[in-house]
C-alpha cells in the first residue's frame, strides 16, 4: 500500500506529465529558422567559439568565415554552405575516405530514426550527414547529450546545426519527465516535422568497441506515440546503421582510462578529458570510415509480435538492432590482425600481409607512447596494449558471433 507521502509524489508526477500534454520542445529542439540569425549573431561574438575556430583554421581566414556566417538565415543553408565544405575538408585531411552502403534501403518518402553504434563523440552523426549530403539525401536531426555542452556557445552551435538535446544526470522524477519529453519530440519530429533523426544505440561510446543497444534507450523511444509497445516503435521507423572506423584516434585515451579505473574503481573523467577526446577524435587520423544502412526493422517487429512486459519486449528489440549492426560492420585488415593476435591464431592470416601485421605492432607502440602517465609498469603497459587489441578485434568477434550463431 502507498503511503500518503508516496501517493502525493505520484499525484505530483501525474500533474507534471500533464503539463507536457502539448509538448513544448523549445528547450531541447534545434533552433527554429525564425531565430537562426539572432542566435548566429550571438555565437560569432563568443570568445570560446572564436578561439575554437582560430584553432581549426588559419587565423587570417576567421573574419571571412564570420562574414559568411552572418549572411546565413537558416539551418539548411548553414549545413550546405558551411558544414558541408568543412566536413569535406575534415574527411580529406583526417580519413582515407568515407563510404556508405545500403542506400537502397532509404526510401525518400519516409523519415527514419537512424540508430547506430557509437565510435566518435562528434563525428559519427556528422560524417553520416556528410554521406547523405553527397547522395543528395536530407540530413538528420542529431541527438546530443547535454554533458557535452560544456559551454553555452557549444549548445548554440549544435542547435544551429540541427541537433536536439538529451538531458542526462537528472533525478528520478525529472529523468522520467525528460525521457517522456524526449520520446515525444522524436515522434513529433518523424511524424509531424517530417525529419529523420540520428541517435546512438547507447549512452556514451562502447570503450571496448563491443557495441550493444541499451534497453533503456529502446524503452525511452517507445514512451511516445500511439498503440502498444511495438506499434510505437514502428511509428518512428528504426533503421540500424553500422559505423566502422579503420582507426580510432582515441584508442590510447580509452586504454589510459581503463588503467586509471583499474587502479581506482571510482575514477571519473574530467570535463577537460571529454574536451580533449572530442578534439582528438575530430582532428586526428581515422583511416577508412564506412556507414552501412540496413533495412528498417518494422517487419521484424511484426514477426516477433508484442510482449506482456516492456523489459522482454525491449530485450528482443535490442537483439534485432545489435544483429543488424554486427553483421554489417566493414572489417579492415587491422581487425583481422587484432583478432589473430588476441586469439593466438593465424585463422585470418590470408586477410592481411606481414607488412600490415608489423604496421599494427608499430601503431600499438606509438599509441601507447602517447599515454601521459609517468608511473606505468611494464605489466600495466602490456595490459593496456591488450585493451587496444581487444578494441580492434571486437567488431570482427561480434560479426562472427552473429553470422555463426554465437560461435567464433
- State pLDDT tens for residues 361-399: 999 999 999 999 989 999 999 999 999 999 999 999 999
Q: Which residues contact 277 (CB under 8 A, 6 or more apart)?
A: 121, 250, 253
Domain boundaries along the sequence of the chain: 15-244+285-328, 248-269+331-408
Between 7 and 111, the more confident residue is 111
From residue 250, alpha-carbon distances to 172, 189, 371 in Å are 32, 33, 11
From residue 54, alpha-carbon distances to 90, 115, 161, 177 in Å are 15, 33, 19, 39
Between 358 and 58, the more confident residue is 358
Pairing between β-strand 163-166 and β-strand 141-145 as defined by DSSP bridges: parallel
pLDDT of residue 172: 83
Between 132 and 16, the more confident residue is 132
pLDDT surpassing 70 at residue 5? no
| Length in residues, the chain | 408
pLDDT of residue 406: 67
Grade residue 10 by pLDDT with cuts at 50, 70 and 90.
Answer: very low
pLDDT of residue 17: 46
pLDDT tens sequence across 279-301: 999 999 999 999 999 999 999 99
What DSSP element (H or E) covers 291?
strand 288-293
Cell 549572411, located at residue: 71
Cβ atoms of 214 and 208 closer than 8 Å: no
Beta strands in 126-272 (DSSP E): 141-145, 163-166, 197-200, 238-245
Angle, CA of 49, 54 and 58, to the nearest 5°: 150
> What's the rounded mean pLDDT across residues 45-52?
93
pLDDT surpassing 50 at residue 3? no
Q: Which CATH code for domain 15-244+285-328?
A: 3.40.1130
Grade residue 205 by pLDDT with cuts at 50, 70 and 90.
Answer: confident
Q: What is the C-alpha separation between 161 and 152, in angstroms, rounded?
A: 14
Cell 505530483, located at residue: 12
Cβ atoms of 28 and 165 closer than 8 Å: yes
pLDDT surpassing 60 at residue 351? yes
Grade residue 235 by pLDDT with cuts at 50, 70 and 90.
Answer: very high
| Strand order, beta sheet including 288-293 | 97-101, 288-293, 238-245, 113-116, 197-200, 141-145, 163-166
pLDDT of residue 201: 97
CA 249 to chain centre: 16
Rounded to the nearest 5°, which phi and psi values hold at 372?
-90, 55
> What's the rounded mean pLDDT across residues 123-138?
96
Grade residue 19 by pLDDT with cuts at 50, 70 and 90.
Answer: low
- Mean pLDDT, rounded, of the chain: 92
> What's the rounded mean pLDDT across residues 86-101?
96
- State the Rg of the chain over Cα: 22
> What's the rounded mean pLDDT across residues 209-237?
96
pLDDT of residue 67: 96
Amino acid at each position: 500500500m502507498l503511503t500518503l507521502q508516496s501517493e502525493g509524489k505520484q499525484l505530483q508526477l501525474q500533474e507534471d506529465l500533464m503539463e507536457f500534454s502539448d509538448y513544448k520542445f523549445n528547450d531541447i529542439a534545434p533552433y527554429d529558422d525564425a531565430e537562426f540569425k539572432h542566435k548566429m549573431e550571438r555565437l560569432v561574438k563568443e570568445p570560446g567559439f572564436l578561439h575554437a575556430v582560430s584553432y581549426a583554421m588559419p587565423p587570417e581566414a576567421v573574419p571571412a568565415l564570420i562574414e559568411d556566417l552572418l549572411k546565413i538565415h537558416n539551418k539548411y543553408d548553414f549545413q550546405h554552405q558551411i558544414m558541408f565544405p568543412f566536413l569535406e575538408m575534415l574527411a580529406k585531411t583526417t580519413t582515407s575516405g568515407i563510404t556508405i552502403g545500403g542506400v537502397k534501403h532509404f526510401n525518400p518518402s519516409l523519415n527514419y530514426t537512424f540508430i547506430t553504434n557509437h565510435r566518435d563523440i562528434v563525428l559519427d552523426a556528422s560524417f553520416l550527414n556528410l554521406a547523405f549530403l553527397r547522395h543528395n539525401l536530407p540530413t538528420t536531426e542529431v541527438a546530443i547529450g547535454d554533458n557535452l555542452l560544456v559551454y553555452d556557445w557549444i549548445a548554440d552551435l549544435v542547435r544551429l546545426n540541427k541537433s536536439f538535446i538529451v538531458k542526462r544526470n537528472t533525478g528520478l522524477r525529472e529523468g522520467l519527465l525528460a525521457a517522456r519529453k524526449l520520446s515525444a519530440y522524436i515522434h513529433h519530429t518523424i511524424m509531424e516535422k517530417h525529419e529523420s533523426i540520428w541517435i546512438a544505440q547507447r549512452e556514451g561510446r562502447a570503450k571496448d568497441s563491443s557495441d550493444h543497444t541499451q534497453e533503456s534507450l529502446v524503452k525511452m523511444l517507445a514512451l511516445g506515440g500511439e498503440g502498444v509497445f511495438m506499434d510505437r516503435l514502428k511509428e518512428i521507423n528504426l533503421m540500424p546503421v553500422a559505423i566502422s572506423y579503420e582507426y580510432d584516434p582515441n584508442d590510447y585515451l580509452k586504454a589510459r582510462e581503463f588503467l586509471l579505473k583499474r587502479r581506482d574503481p571510482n575514477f571519473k573523467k574530467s570535463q577537460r578529458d571529454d574536451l580533449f577526446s572530442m578534439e582528438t577524435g575530430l582532428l586526428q587520423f581515422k583511416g577508412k570510415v564506412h556507414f552501412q544502412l540496413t533495412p528498417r526493422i518494422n517487419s521484424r517487429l511484426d514477426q516477433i509480435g508484442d510482449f506482456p512486459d516492456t523489459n522482454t519486449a525491449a530485450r528482443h528489440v535490442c537483439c534485432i538492432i545489435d544483429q543488424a549492426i554486427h553483421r554489417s560492420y566493414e572489417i579492415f585488415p587491422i581487425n583481422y590482425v587484432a583478432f589473430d593476435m588476441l586469439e593466438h591464431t593465424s585463422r585470418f592470416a590470408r586477410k592481411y600481409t606481414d607488412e600490415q601485421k608489423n604496421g599494427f605492432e608499430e601503431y600499438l607502440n606509438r599509441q601507447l607512447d602517447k599515454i601521459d602517465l609517468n608511473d606505468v609498469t611494464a605489466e600495466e603497459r602490456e595490459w593496456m596494449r591488450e585493451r587496444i587489441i581487444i578494441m580492434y578485434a571486437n567488431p570482427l568477434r561480434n560479426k562472427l558471433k552473429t553470422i555463426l550463431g554465437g560461435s567464433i
